[in-house]
Amino acid sequence: MKVVASISQGLEKEGVQEVSELGAKSVKASRRHLLFEADMSCLYRLHLKSRLCFRFLREIARFPCNGPRELYSGVQRAINWKKWLLPQKSFRVDVTGIGDGLSHSHYTALQVKNSIIDMQREQWGSRSSIDLIKPDFCFHLHLSNRQAVLSVDGSNSSLHKRGYRPAVGLAPIKETLAAGLMRMTGWDGTDHLVDPLCGSGTLLIEAVNDFLNIAPGLERHFLFENWPDFDVSLWNRELKLAKKVDSFKGKLPKIIGCELDEVIANLAIENIIKSGLENYIEIINCPFQELKLPAGSGVLVCNPPYGKRIGDENQLPNLYKELGYFCKENASGWNLWLLNGNPKLSKYIGMKASRRFQVNNGSIDCRWLNYEIK
Ligand SMILES: C[S@@+](CC[C@H](N)C(=O)[O-])C[C@H]1O[C@@H](n2cnc3c(N)ncnc32)[C@H](O)[C@@H]1O
């Protein structure tokens, strides 16, 4: 099967590595997407175990499309709809891209929907209902270069919604981005890990889940369970394999989140408990300026406010200066990774980044900066 995965801009390289490790073949990356081949077991495994990708779309047809009429007839001919979509099953259509006479995704989605339900009415005298929130099927149409690609999405909601974070602090980063950033740090459970401005704790939770090999999708219901070729025995095998992780017997180094705001610190604790990681991650409610770092070597990761969504831009230079000062005073020999969405601020850290990676945090162009603290 041909599969397209969507991913945050800047994580494509790590994404290629992740999906390849999970069995994807002939993987190619383009901006915010990965294209690859996968068999059914691999597709199930990706949904269960990928930490970096938002969605996996399985291509089911592709056809030329030069306008609304061709789209309407192309959709009807694309697949055996009798097999795929019984009228008692609901669906939703998502659209990306544009084509001739098809420049509004809402209109394009309507064309696809009308094409499907008109055909159902003709065949059965009844039609599927549309359910935008909890559909049985989610079809996806992508238009580009006078071509339409029809796919099915294996999951209703984006895979970054892991379920452990009903409680979010101010401007949290998505779980998928946090997982990708942590992968970039190369933290392997040897050194201490500290987030001095931890918010709802996402970076630490993703890091520890990855280290413990806890699959993020174990508790989810997936839409591929409704597909006509859903293979329950393959699925059960993948689910069993994903659940079967050797429990970690060793001792992890200190993993600490520090948060100034008491309410947010409590949200972080709630999220950690919901993830079952309370024996691994400690949250301390204080300003990082007062935090005592554990002895030994370590990695600091953080996503300080940068004035776009939170933080008063006039106060922030001081916060960055103090963070730089804190690192030099307390964390000599450690590594700092800092997500920054405001280039004016990072200079106040007072250290030179040895590596920098461009990533998008939602629509904000950011840099994931790595400093070796002297
Ligand atoms: C952008 S948020 C971090 C979001 C976090 N990565 C998450 O996913 O939830 C920045 C956090 O830094 C906290 N903060 C600001 N100044 C601080 C300080 N001096 N010490 C500790 N935390 C601070 C804020 O309360 C806020 O929760």
Q: Are residues 200 and 299 in the same domain?
A: yes
The reply to whether 96 and 133 lie within a common domain is: yes
Q: Determine the distance separating the centroid of ligand 1 and the alpha carbon of 16, expressed in angstroms.
A: 30
3-state secondary structure of 243: helix
Domain range for 13: 2-153
Q: Are strands 255-259 and 192-195 parallel, antiparallel or unpaired?
A: parallel
Ligand 1 center to 264 CA (angstroms): 8
- What number does the ligand 1 atom closest to the CA of 168 have? 9
What's the 195 CA to ligand 1 centre distance in angstroms? 9
Mean pLDDT score of the chain, rounded to an integer?
Answer: 95
Provide mean pLDDT across the span 233-241.
Answer: 97
Q: Which atom of ligand 1 is nearest to the CA of 287?
A: 20
User: Which pLDDT score, from 0 to 100, does residue 41 have?
Assistant: 98
CA of residue 52 to ligand 1 center, whole Å: 23
The answer on 300 and 181 residing in a single domain is yes
Asked if 9 and 54 sit in the same domain, the reply is yes
**Longest CA–CA separation in the chain, Å:** 75
> What is the three-class DSSP state of 235?
helix
**What mean pLDDT is predicted for residues 357-366?**
95
**C-alpha to C-alpha distance for 265 and 79, rounded to whole angstroms:** 51
Q: Output the CA–CA distances (angstroms, integers) from residue 252 to 169, 189, 190, 256, 372, in the order listed.
A: 26, 6, 7, 11, 22
CA dihedral 342, 344, 350, 353 (to 10 degrees): 50
Q: How far is the CA of 318 from the centre of ligand 1 (A)?
A: 14
Choosing from 206, 260, 266 the residue with most ligand 1 atoms within 8 A of its CB, the one to mutate for a pocket test is: 260
Pocket test for ligand 1, best of 181, 185, 198 (most atoms within 8 A of CB): 198
Mean pLDDT confidence for 126-151: 98
Position 264 in a domain: yes
243 found inside a domain: no
Domain annotation covers residue 161: no
Do 15 and 135 sit in the same domain of this protein? yes
Atom 1 in ligand 1: residue holding the nearest Cα: 305
The Cα–Cα gap between 339 and 257 comes to 16
pLDDT per position as a tens digit, 312-335:
667 899 999 999 999 999 999 999
From 358, 191, 322, 195, select the one nearest 271 (Cα to Cα): 195
Q: Are residues 139 and 185 in the same domain?
A: no
- Residues 277 and 307 grouped into a single domain: yes
Q: Could you tell me how far CA 104 lies from the centroid of its own chain?
A: 26
**Quick check: is 17 in a domain?**
yes
**Cα(359)–Cα(39) distance, integer angstroms:** 30
Dist. CA 307 → ligand 1 center (Å) = 12
Same domain for 148 and 180: no
Q: What is the CATH number of the domain that holds 208?
A: 3.40.50.150
**Whether residues 14 and 129 fall in one domain:** yes
The pLDDT value given to residue 324: 98
> Which is nearest to 22 in space by CA: 333, 5, 33, 8?
5
- CA of 98 from ligand 1 middle (Å) equals 39
**Tell me, what CATH number does 77's domain have?**
3.30.2130.30
Q: Is residue 287 part of a domain?
A: yes
pLDDT tens figures, 107-122 = 999 999 999 999 999 9
pLDDT for 311 beyond 80: no
Residues near ligand 1 (Cβ within 6 A): 169-173, 197, 199-200, 202-203, 258-261, 264, 287-288, 303-305, 310, 319
Ligand 1 nearest-atom number relative to CA 309 = 1
Residue 310 has pLDDT above 60, yes or no: no
Cα separations (Å) of 39 from 124, 165, 233?
Answer: 32, 31, 14
Q: What is the DSSP letter of 125?
A: S
What is the predicted pLDDT for the residue at 353?
97
Residues 363, 339 contacting (CB under 8 angstroms): no
Distance 198 CA to ligand 1 centre (A): 5
Burial level of 254, CB count in 10 A (0-12/13-18/19+)? middle
> For residue range 32-65, what is the model confidence (pLDDT) as tens digits?
999 999 999 999 999 999 999 999 999 999 999 9
Same domain flag for 29 and 119: yes
- Specify the pLDDT at position 315: 87
Could you tell me the pTM of the whole model?
0.95
User: Distance (Å, rounded) from C-alpha 266 to C-alpha 270?
Assistant: 6
CA nearest neighbour of 366 among 333, 347, 324, 338 = 338
For ligand 1, atom 2: residue with the closest CA: 199
Q: What is the pLDDT of residues 150-198, one digit of tens each?
A: 999 999 999 999 888 765 666 789 999 999 999 999 999 999 999 999 9
Residue nearest to atom 5 of ligand 1 (CA): 199
| Domain total of the chain | 2
Asked if residue 237 is part of any domain, the answer here is no
Query: Does residue 244 fall inside a structural domain?
Result: no
Shared-domain flag, residues 125 and 198: no
pLDDT (0 to 100) of residue 308: 60
